[in-house]
Amino acid sequence: MNMKKSNILAAIISICIICMFSCGKKIAPATVKQDVRNKTYDSVRFDYFFVEAVKQKLMGNSGEALQRLEQCIRINPESDAAYYQKAQIAMGLGDRIHAKIYARKAYSIAPANFWYLMMLAGLYYNDNNIDSAIIYYERASSLFPEKEDVLLMLGNLYSESGKYANADEVFKKFDAKYGINETSTVASIKNMILAKKYDEALAKTNLLLKEFPEELLYNRFLAEIYSAKGENTKAMDVYRNLIENHPENPEIQLSFCDFLINSKNYNDLFTFLNKVMLNEKVSREDKISLLGSLIEIPEIVKDYGNNLNVVLRILEANYPDDDIVVLLRPELLVKQNKPGDASNRLEEIIYKRPDNYFAWEKLLIIYLQAKDFKKLQERGKECATRFNRSFIAKMLYASGATENGNYEIALDELRKASILAGDTKEMIMQVLSLKADVYYRQKKYKEAFDTFEEALKTDSGDLTILNNYAYYLAEQNMRLKEAEEMAKKVINIEKNNTTFLDTYGWVLYKRGKIKEAQKVMEAIINSGEKPDPEWYEHLGYIMKKRKDCKNAVINWNIALKLDSTKTDIKEEIKKCQGL
C-alpha cells in the first residue's frame, strides 16, 4: 500500500513539474532559448533534464538528481536554477562546503534572487560566520525592503555580532512604526542588555510590563537587568515574586538558578536546587545540563562538592535506570581529583548495568589518564568485545596493550579500528598514529616511518603526526634536516605547546644546534606548566654536550625525582661524575 502511494505521489510530482516547466508549449526538437546573459541553449533538452532532476531530488535520489543537473549545466552553464538545486541537494547531504560553492554560483548569475541570498546567509550563519551572513541579509533587505522579517533578522544578527548601534537603529524603525510590541521591542531590550545600556533596557522593559504585567519573559528581563546593574536585592525580589506566583514553572526555576550562579550566591542555590531536581516539569535534559555546568565551576567543586554530591544522588534516585544521569557523580569525582573513587563508582555502575557503554568509555579514559595500563587493557578487552562496533573502545584497548608491550594485540585491534574508521579522516589518522608508535616500539623502524608517510598522504598538516615523526627520526639520528623542518612547521602553528617545543628542542640537539636547543628547553621549563621529566632529561643531555656536567646532573636528578623509572639516567649521572 505504501509503495502504491509512493508511486502515485511520484506520478503526481512528475505531472506537476512538467506542467510547471512545459505548460503552454509543445515538445519540439532543437528549440533554442537565450539565458540571462543572452547565450543560446537547447531549452527542450534542458527542461527535460531539469524536470527529471527535480523529480529525482523529491524522491530522495540525490545522486541521480545531481547527474541530471550536471547535464543541465552542460547545456546551459549559466543556469542559476540548476546550481541552486545542486546547493539544496548538497545541504540535504550535510555537505555545506559544496552547498556554498553552488549557492554562490547561482547568486553570481542572479544576484537579485531572494532565495539565493537567504540560502547563502543561512549557510554562513550555520558556519558561525555571522559577518558574511550579515552581508547577504543587508543585500536582501536593500533589494526587498517590504520583507520586514528580513530586516528584523538583520537587527538580531547585528546584535549577535556585537554591532549594537546598527541593531538599535533597526529596532528603532520598528518601534517608530508599530510602537511598543512583543517582537521588535523584545529584541531591542536584549540588544540593550548586551550593549550594557541597562537604564534604557529597564525603561523599555517597564513599558512592556505595564501592558503585560504577568508575562514571565519580561519579568525575567527585569531581574536580569537589576542583576547586571548590581542591584541583586531587587533582582532577588523579582524572582521571589515570580516563584511565589508560579512555584512549579520550569523556566522561572532554571532562570533563578542561572541568576544565583552568576551572582555566586551558592548557599541559596543549593537550598533551591532540591526543588528543581524534584520538579517533574523541569525536563531531565535541563537538569543534567544544569548540574553538568555546576561540575565545571572549580569554586563549586572545591567548596560545595558535598552539597553537589547530595543533589546528584537525588537526581539518581529520580532516574534510577538512566545511563547518563549516573555518570555525573563520577565526573564530579574526577573534577575533585579523585580518579580512584571515580573508577570505583564506574565499576559499580557497570556491574549493575553492563550495557552502559558511556560508563565503560569513561572508565577506560580514567584508567588511561591515571596510567593504569594494566586495568586499561583488561577492561578495554571486555569493552571492545562487548561493544564490537565501537571505534573508541578498540583504540583505548589498543593503547593499553601498547603500553603493556602486547604489540600484536595492539596491532590486531588497530586493524579492526581501521575497518570501523571507514573513510573518516580523523579516525584514520588516530589509527595510523598509534600504529606507527607500536611499530617504533617494536623497533620496526621502516614500518613505523612508512606508516607516518601513509598518514601524511592522508593529511600532510596533521601536527601530531609531524611531531611524532620528527621525534622518532631524531631518536634514530635519521634524516635530521627533514625532522627539523617538520618540527619547525609544527611549532610555527602551535608556538606555546610544550610537547611540540620539546620535540623541536630535541631535534635541534640532535642536529648539533646546542645553544638553540638549550634556549628552547629552558623556555619550556620556565613556562609555568606542570613539570615533565622528559624536559629535564633532555636538558641534562644538552648540558652534558656543553661539557657542563654539574648542571647536567642537577637536571637529571630532577627528572629522576619526577619519574624514578628512568634508570638509564642513573648511568649517565655516574659517567658525568666520573664514577
Q: What is the pLDDT of residue 39?
A: 64
Identity at 566, one-letter amino acid code:
K
Distance separating alpha carbons of residues 230 and 215, to the nearest angstrom: 23
Residues 406-460: pLDDT tens digits? 999 999 999 999 999 998 999 999 999 999 999 999 999 999 999 999 999 999 9
As a three-state string, the secondary structure of 198-236 is HHHHHHHHHHHHHHCCCCHHHHHHHHHHHHHCCCHHHHH
| Cell of residue 402, nine digits | 601498547
Rounded to the nearest integer, the mean pLDDT of the chain is 90
Contact between residue 537 and residue 556 where contact means Cβ atoms under 8 Å apart? yes
Average pLDDT for residues 116-142, to the nearest whole number?
95
Q: What is the pLDDT of residue 42?
A: 86
Q: What is the pLDDT of residue 6?
A: 39
Is residue 3 in some structural domain? yes
Residues 330-372: pLDDT tens digits? 999 999 999 999 999 999 999 999 999 999 999 999 999 999 9
Percent of the chain residues past pLDDT 90, beyond the cut: 79
Beta bridge partners of 41: 33
Is residue 453 in some structural domain? no
How many domains are contained in the chain? Answer: 1
Q: What is the pLDDT of residue 34?
A: 52
Higher pLDDT, residue 8 or 395: 395
Beta bridge partners of 34: 40
Distance separating alpha carbons of residues 88 and 107, to the nearest angstrom: 13
Rg (CA), the chain: 32
Higher pLDDT, residue 565 or 447: 447
Residues 470-515: pLDDT tens digits? 999 999 999 999 999 999 999 999 999 999 999 999 999 999 999 9
Which stretch of DSSP H or E encloses residue 571? helix 567-577
Taking CA atoms, 363 is separated from 347, 378, 405, in Å, by 8, 12, 21
Average pLDDT for residues 34-47, to the nearest whole number?
73
Q: Phi/psi at 128 (nearest 5 deg)? A: 65, 25
| Cell of residue 572, nine digits | 649517565
Q: What residues make up the domain containing 9?
A: 1-110
Residues 280-290: pLDDT tens digits? 999 999 999 99
Identity at 547, one-letter amino acid code:
K
Is residue 184 in some structural domain? no
Distance separating alpha carbons of residues 118 and 130, to the nearest angstrom: 13
Average pLDDT for residues 150-162, to the nearest whole number?
95
SS3 34: strand
Is residue 396 in some structural domain? no
Is 30 a residue whose pLDDT tops 60? no
Residue 16 maps to which CATH number?
Answer: 1.25.40.10
- How many CB atoms lie under 10 A from the CB of residue 325? 19
Is 314 a residue whose pLDDT tops 90? yes
Is 26 a residue whose pLDDT tops 80? no
Identity at 450, one-letter amino acid code:
D
Which stretch of DSSP H or E encloses residue 540? helix 533-545
Is 204 a residue whose pLDDT tops 80? yes
Residues 176-189: pLDDT tens digits? 999 888 889 999 99
Q: What is the pLDDT of residue 559?
A: 93
Q: What is the pLDDT of residue 575?
A: 85
Q: What is the pLDDT of residue 332?
A: 97
Is 545 a residue whose pLDDT tops 80? yes
Is residue 7 in some structural domain? yes
Per-residue pLDDT band at 35 (split at 50, 70, 90): low
Given CA atoms 327, 331, 334, 336 in this order, what sign does their dihedral have?
Answer: negative
As a three-state string, the secondary structure of 440-483 is HHCCCHHHHHHHHHHHHHHCCCCHHHHHHHHHHHHHCCCCHHHH
SS3 32: strand
Average pLDDT for residues 535-560, to the nearest whole number?
94
Residues 79-105: pLDDT tens digits? 999 999 999 999 998 888 999 999 999
Long-range contact pairs involving 72-79 (C-beta distance under 8 Å, separation at least 24): 72/46, 75/41, 75/42, 75/45, 75/46, 75/49, 76/35, 76/39, 76/41, 76/46, 78/35, 78/36, 78/37, 78/39, 78/109, 79/35, 79/46, 79/50, 79/109
Is residue 2 in some structural domain? yes
- Beta strand extents in 502-570 (DSSP E only): none
Average pLDDT for residues 199-222, to the nearest whole number?
90
Is residue 92 in some structural domain? yes
Per-residue pLDDT band at 217 (split at 50, 70, 90): confident
Contact between residue 255 and residue 219 where contact means Cβ atoms under 8 Å apart? no
| Cell of residue 562, nine digits | 619526577
Is residue 27 in some structural domain? yes
Contact between residue 349 and residue 360 where contact means Cβ atoms under 8 Å apart? no
State the residue for C-alpha cell 595492539.
Answer: 410
Q: Which of 177, 144, 185, 151 is nearest to 166 (CA)?
A: 151
Average pLDDT for residues 49-56, to the nearest whole number?
93
Average pLDDT for residues 163-181, to the nearest whole number?
92
Contact between residue 490 and residue 507 where contact means Cβ atoms under 8 Å apart? no
Residues 269-313: pLDDT tens digits? 999 999 999 999 999 999 999 999 999 999 999 999 999 999 999
Beta bridge partners of 32: 42
Residues 383-394: pLDDT tens digits? 999 999 999 999
